[in-house]
Structure 1
């Protein structure tokens, strides 16, 4: 857990350095300078505009956000599948990890080294990787921030409507923030599906995130432009279907293996 936090903290620091000097109210163009603008924000802004121009309608920019969001999720699909598999493996070995912690509860250096050694052996044996769950987050964070900048700084998007809301202002009816929070909750809940109470008790951070993350995303969506809330909502709907398509076959396979006494060789 400590390694994950350090990794995410380092990534946030890099993103702050990349985007910290960029004014959100400055339109993004091909002439915008800086690594962040040129290689992260402008390509997404360009893609949004080109897809919207293809439809040649007022709702084109909203539809463009939906299409680009799905495209981004498809690109990230292999990483997300890896995350789901790693998350499931980590859930499965929680009882064994707890036994190791109880066995080597002493805080002296030699005992802790032994704990780390046997923990690594358990990870290798089970195929679990505690850092694999961070990889999709690490990849998505700069994309999300760049997409936020692209939405905020693409002048062509201003004034366009999609469904009941205007893209460059918050949803006046708070429908999108509620949907975003609900879809985030269901997506998190699906990730935890198949775990028992004992496993959940051993992974309190996952239970905490189940409730904290939807609230955070929902509150952000109240104040951010509706275009960004649309990105979150569509992204989470995609993740829900992805989790159902990937995790359900995994659960059935595990049930069959348990029923037959282990994996087939």
Structure 2
């Protein structure tokens, strides 16, 4: 949860910085230069346009489809993250014992504690950094979405349902839905992983507020992206993560199941 909060705050800062740069707020086209424009924004703009053309020019439907495709690509990483997270819960009693055994604060003892902890992680296929990778990958994707939408005139001015993709939702329906679906997805995720940490529970309420602020300030297309992504996450939790925990299939592919 803290990682997701850090992710949202970083996203707001980065989008704000990029939006303020003249180089990155000009219309995007095939002649735009720079690695960010050539390898991220322009290809995504073209891809959104291509999908839209398959559906009668609906850029809104295209963004929904692109969101689902992004989530499907990230699904293997999310599954790996979940396995590592659940394995981490299993080793918590052992970690507690190690901390009690190496309770001294001298440098040599703390070094030994780190070594024993890493050894324990390796034995139980736990990767402490596994939870960061999906968020790290999502950040440039979200920022690229923002730029592809805002800097492509056809996408920015397209009307989908009751809103223009490049403008704020005039009725704030999408920001509210983004906050609600964020809350639901976080609650379901906490229930499926058995996480009863009070600090994490607090983050469950902080995250929707952060998403609401983000969705109100940025183009409605980003709120649409977030709502669809959260709905995908809810189904992912029900059909992938929850069964994984129930069956005890939380070891790595080579490590077998752990009951």
Q: TM-score, normalised by structure 1?
A: 0.82
Partner of 1:223: 217
| Structure 1 residues 253 and 120, CA gap change in structure 2 (3 angstroms) | same
Alpha-carbon distance between aligned partners in 2 of 1:150 and 1:69, rounded to the nearest angstrom: 14
Aligned with 2:196 (options 200, 219, 235): 200
Partner of 1:260: none
Runs of 4 or more, structure 1, over 4 Å off, are 18-24
Deviation of the 1:191 alpha carbon:
2.2
Q: Is the 8 A contact 1:24 1:152 kept in 2?
A: no
| Structure 1 residues 264 and 153, CA gap change in structure 2 (3 angstroms) | closer
Is residue 64 from structure 1 mapped to residue 62 from structure 2 by the alignment?
yes
Partner of 1:158: 156
Partner of 2:168: 170
Deviation of the 1:100 alpha carbon:
2.2
| Structure 1 residues 46 and 90, CA gap change in structure 2 (3 angstroms) | same
Figure out how many residues of one structure are paired with residues of the other and give that number: 244
1:193-242 Cα shifts (integer Å, max 9, x gaps): 2455xx633x83x3343222221111110111101100111111111111
Q: Is the 8 A contact 2:193 2:245 kept in 1?
A: no
Partner of 1:191: 189
Partner of 2:106: 108
| Structure 1 residues 226 and 28, CA gap change in structure 2 (3 angstroms) | same
Alpha-carbon distance between aligned partners in 2 of 1:194 and 1:233, rounded to the nearest angstrom: 20
**Residues 1-265 of structure 1 correspond to what in structure 2 (within 5 A)?**
21=21, 23-57=23-57, 60-195=58-193, 200-201=196-197, 204=199, 206-254=200-248
Uncovered stretches (5+) of structure 1, i.e. residues with no partner: 256-262
